[in-house]
Structure 1
């Protein structure tokens, strides 16, 4: 264990959980904006953050009602911090919904569907219903029934558009992770902690999901 590991352990032990959650949300927000496809929904993290925000709203309302001059500065700090967290949550959700809008059929079933939150699944169902109704009224309704499906795999060619897994992304190694094959190139990357590389998403997806690498 080196000094960085020791300091990391000390930080984890001394930093409040609320601060750690905001740091994690910030990293997830960056990663979601960079990744070509949806990352796994952090249900526990979002639940904790939304519960704290609800408690902060109640506290702000109570302090505003009393109008105590001594607490006015603390109230401003609390409101500012809450607005910062709200921005992160909203921007994070917008980044995810943009991917759902771009590839609704891809996220409608199978493993990709498991990456959505309950609310995102409801959004996707409503989105897909409206889209199919619009396409049906515009032009699909004029086709034979066997040609009206938007996800028809006939002829061995899928009509479902998928995210670009070959897109380049910046990643940073959080720990040593061994050799990673570079698709389309006759070379490997021996991942060492602290390394920063530009690589194809398909080559590092699994390492990002298990926490060996992070998107930057």
Structure 2
């Protein structure tokens, strides 16, 4: 009997979290992570698809309510439109942050695993790199020997491909215990444990994997 009462109390005290709320939280976290990380993070295709579908449904709902010309729905429309603009801002800003990284390092972006770019982003990066190559070749590369015209040349151990700085310092918060990482200090290298709730300033290369798996978030 005690167990039954405990279960009932637990179910009553636990607030219901709706799927669209979880998706909004996930989009906000993805937005902050993308803006703070020095390189492209994996593209959350399922999340973006769900958010886009809800945006379309919200737009249809607003259009339907607007067409009724009911003065009593004015406050409801304001709430719907405000929420719509908030999510649209997050989504646009998130995608712009990714496009900015592609523009900065197109060759590097195209070399990333397929999970890091959406089909449209990969198409954009390919077209962007093609335009750059054509422009450079027309402007000055055509005057160079053929062996010096490649933009992805690695001859002599020096790569022509620009890459994000993996040693960039980033602020991050630990969401769940996830082991230790090596940090460089004035007295050498030491290991610190990443425990839930901790806030650290670490090199991006040391926390990249944990950010991608969701154990750590950027702040």
Shared topology, TM-score over 0.5? yes
1:91 aligns with 2:109: no
Q: How many Å apart are 1:144 and its aligned residue?
A: 1.6
Runs of 4+ in 1 over 2 A off after TM superposition: none
Max Rg structure? 2
Q: Deviations over 1:27-65 (max 9, x none)?
A: 111110100101110000000000011111111111111
TM-score, normalised with respect to structure 2: 0.89
1:64-83 to 2 correspondences below 5 Å: 64-83=66-85
Q: Which residue of 187, 192, 204 maps to 1:189?
A: 192
Distance 1:153 1:183 in 2: 29
Match of 1:59 in 2: 61
Whether 1:175 and 2:176 are equivalent positions in the alignment is yes
> What is residue 106 of structure 1 aligned with on the other side?
108
2: CA distance, partners of 1:39 / 1:110: 10
User: Partners of 1:41 and 1:110 in 2: how far apart?
Assistant: 11
SS in 2 for 1:186: strand
How many residue pairs get matched?
A: 206
**Structure 2 runs not aligned, ≥5 long:** 1-9
Q: 1:110 to 1:194 in 2, by over 3 A?
A: closer
Is contact 1:167–1:200 with CA below 8 Å preserved after alignment?
Answer: yes
Who is 1:130 aligned against?
A: 131
Give the aligned partner of residue 28 of structure 1: 30
Query: Which residue of 45, 48, 66 corresponds with 2:47?
Result: 45
Question: How far apart are 1:175 and its partner, in Å?
Answer: 1.1
Cα 1:95/1:110, change in 2 over 3 Å: closer
Q: Is the 8 A contact 1:183 1:203 kept in 2?
A: no
Gaps of 5+ in 1: 1-5
The separation in 2 between residues aligned to 1:183 and 1:115, in whole angstroms, is 29
TM-score normalised over the length of structure 1: 0.91
3-state SS, counterpart of residue 187 of structure 1 = strand
TM-superposed deviation, 1:84: 0.5
Mapped pair 1:207 → 2:210: yes
2:217 is paired with a residue whose SS is strand
Structure 1 residues 95-124: Cα deviation after superposition (integer angstroms, max 9, x where no partner):
11110011011011243x540111101111
Q: Distance in 2 between matches of 1:114 and 1:21?
A: 19
